[in-house]
């Protein structure tokens, strides 16, 4: 009965946790909601009840936070409404397994005082979020650390331990606050002092500049084409798509112009003769360069989601390395999915892992395409060479939803982790310039056509996270969980002897 009474608070806390993320930005809610989960787990009498609490918390969080996937499946993918709803529910249930696993293990291993239990919870939470971000190619969207962008005091940890590390810090602070022994004044003071120290250290870290600007500013024009997804792939609308892109490039006056992901919705070889040359002339006549998204095909017939450059300098190329399952390729045994959904260009090939940044206009620009910027550790291979980061995206698949502001918040975290500006050119939003401190210098309104013009400088240097990646954080998480297991075993031996 007690488990049933706790079910609703667990689900409600998970759903409310979405308020900590963009566009709401109520980052303290992240502490509160994760604290509720930790409090419920600490009072769970059995690991099976804890599994249910974690599962319900996760279901609330993911149903509220990523249900925009339904729009892609139903409105644009053509999947019937009931099947799309079931698909989203099953996907969210899968994602909820990770907090459920963390909860069950916490109850199995918990021992000791509030600090020890909070550290165990933090290690398990960090490990479960990392696992969600890598298993079956990973889906790290809504990792709790993303909610702690500035002005959160924990943002200062992002350049040091990355998003999973900040998720662990958030879990530790939330759990320790939930575990405060209010009946014991000394214990209460110690626990609250630790919480205050962790928060203060993060706030102080926000003042540290790990990287530095170098060289003169570069004028950039980030184009937001705002082409309706339902029309983008229509043969009757193709000429207008080409004309819109050409006009926006022609009218720009910046040294570096960017068009979004798959802005030309076809294979580059199928473009009208001379079209790319025309775009190249528009920018090349003033010594500028253009990067645009288009599909390419190699000699073996493999298709790539690519970015190419024209104009100033030799042509350069980048192919997306981390593809979206079910959207850009079919996992084994899931061919039936494509018989229910109509998704164009859904048989793509991964690009090579060792692609170098594009050398353009005195900068070395590290490309990532749409979903790739969720995987912070995978972007580190371009450092320290890259001076700028560039993401081109098309989130029109998800309509006017939480996906756009959430994705911009992810870009803010990548800028903090790498110590580099992150430029974003998107089809429908949010096109923006993000500085290395995670601040948004400029952003275009969503679902409006426009060009964002700004001056940006390249950055050099390495943050601790850029240097070491997730390794130290995962090692610490493993140590904390191992210590929890050892303490639990010791306590059982002592109980048996008593």
Region of residue 226 (phi > 0: left; psi between -120 and 50: alpha; otherwise: beta): left
CA 252 to CA 254: how far, in whole Å?
Answer: 6
CA 9 to CA 409: how far, in whole Å?
Answer: 27
What one-character-per-residue DSSP string does 360-418 give?
ETTEEEEEEEGGGGG-HHHHGGGTTT-SEEEEEE--GGG-SSTHHHHHHHHHHHHHHHH
Backbone angles phi, psi at 212, to 5 degrees: -135, 145
What one-character-per-residue DSSP string does 223-271 give?
EE----HHHHT-GGGHHHHHHHHHHHHHH--SSEEE--TTSEEEEGGGS
Asked if 92 is an active-site residue, the reply is no
Q: Which residue, among 21, 40, 286, has the nearest Cα to 167 in the 3D structure?
A: 21
In sequence order, which ranges of 66-136 are alpha helices (DSSP H)? 69-71, 81-109, 114-134
CA 317 to CA 356: how far, in whole Å?
Answer: 9
Among 33, 92, 126, 370, the active-site one is 370
CA 340 to CA 169: how far, in whole Å?
Answer: 42
Among 129, 232, 320, 328, the active-site one is 320
Asked if 320 is an active-site residue, the reply is yes
For β-strands 289-297 and 303-311, DSSP reports them as antiparallel
130's tokens? 């990392």
**8-state DSSP, 76:** I
Number of residues assigned to the chain: 498
Give the chain's radius of gyration (CA, Å): 24
For β-strands 264-267 and 256-258, DSSP reports them as unpaired
Answer whether 97's CB lies under 8 Å from 58's CB.
yes
Beta-carbon contacts of residue 475 (< 8 Å; ≥ 6 apart):
none
CA 250 to CA 31: how far, in whole Å?
Answer: 48
Q: Which residue, among 449, 370, 457, has the nearest Cα to 419 in the 3D structure?
A: 457
CA atoms within 13 A on the CB side of 212: 2
Answer whether 58's CB lies under 8 Å from 14's CB.
yes
| H/E element, 459 | strand 450-460
Among 33, 126, 232, 261, the active-site one is 261
Q: Helix, strand, or coil here: 26?
A: coil
Q: Which residue has the tokens 């409006």?
A: 448
**8-state DSSP, 74:** I
Q: Which residue has the tokens 């997306």?
A: 320
Q: Point out the residues that are catalytic.
A: 261, 320, 370
């Amino acid at each position: 009965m007690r488990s049933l009474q706790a079910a609703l608070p667990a689900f409600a806390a998970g759903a409310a946790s979405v308020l900590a993320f963009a566009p709401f930005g109520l980052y303290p809610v992240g502490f509160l909601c994760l604290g509720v989960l930790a409090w419920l787990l600490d009072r769970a009498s059995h690991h099976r009840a804890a599994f249910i609490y974690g599962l319900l918390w996760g279901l609330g969080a993911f149903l509220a936070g990523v249900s925009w996937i339904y729009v892609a499946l139903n409105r644009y993918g053509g999947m019937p409404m009931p099947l799309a709803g079931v698909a989203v529910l099953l996907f969210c249930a899968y994602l909820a397994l990770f907090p459920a696993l963390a909860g069950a293990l916490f109850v199995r291993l918990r021992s000791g005082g509030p600090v020890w239990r909070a550290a165990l919870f933090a290690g398990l939470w960090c490990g479960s979020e990392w696992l969600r971000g890598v298993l079956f190619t990973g889906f790290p969207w809504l990792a709790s650390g993303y909610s702690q962008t500035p002005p959160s005091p924990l943002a200062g940890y992002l350049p040091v331990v990355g998003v999973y590390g900040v998720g662990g810090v958030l879990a530790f602070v939330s759990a320790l606050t939930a575990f405060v022994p209010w009946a014991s004044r000394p214990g209460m003071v110690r626990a609250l002092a630790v919480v205050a120290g962790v928060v203060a250290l993060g706030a102080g870290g926000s003042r540290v500049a790990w990287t530095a600007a170098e060289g003169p500013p570069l004028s950039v024009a980030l184009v937001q084409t705002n082409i309706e997804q339902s029309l983008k792939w229509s043969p009757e609308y193709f000429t207008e798509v080409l004309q819109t892109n050409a006009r926006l490039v022609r009218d720009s006056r910046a040294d570096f112009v960017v068009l979004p992901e798959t802005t030309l919705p076809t294979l580059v070889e199928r473009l009208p003769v001379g079209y790319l040359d025309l775009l190249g002339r528009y920018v090349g006549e003033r010594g500028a360069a253009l990067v645009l998204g288009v599909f390419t095909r190699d000699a073996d017939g493999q298709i790539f989601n690519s970015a190419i450059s024209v104009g100033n300098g030799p042509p350069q190329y980048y192919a997306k390395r981390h593809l979206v399952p079910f959207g850009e390729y079919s996992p084994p045994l899931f061919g039936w999915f494509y018989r229910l959904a109509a998704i164009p260009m859904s048989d793509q090939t991964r690009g090579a892992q060792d692609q170098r940044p594009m050398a353009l206009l005195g900068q070395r620009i590290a490309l990532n395409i749409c979903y790739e910027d969720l995987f912070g550790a995978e972007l580190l291979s371009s450092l320290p060479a890259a001076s700028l980061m560039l993401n081109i995206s098309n989130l029109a698949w998800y309509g006017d939803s939480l996906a756009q502001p959430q994705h911009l918040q992810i870009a803010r975290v990548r800028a903090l982790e790498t110590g580099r500006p992150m430029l974003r050119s998107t089809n429908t939003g949010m096109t923006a310039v993000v500085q290395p401190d995670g601040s948004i210098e400029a952003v275009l309104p969503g679902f409006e056509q426009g060009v964002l013009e700004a001056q940006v400088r390249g950055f050099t240097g390495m943050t601790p996270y850029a240097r070491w990646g997730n390794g130290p954080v995962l090692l610490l998480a493993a140590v904390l969980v191992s210590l929890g297991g050892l303490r639990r075993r010791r306590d059982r031996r002592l109980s048996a002897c008593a």
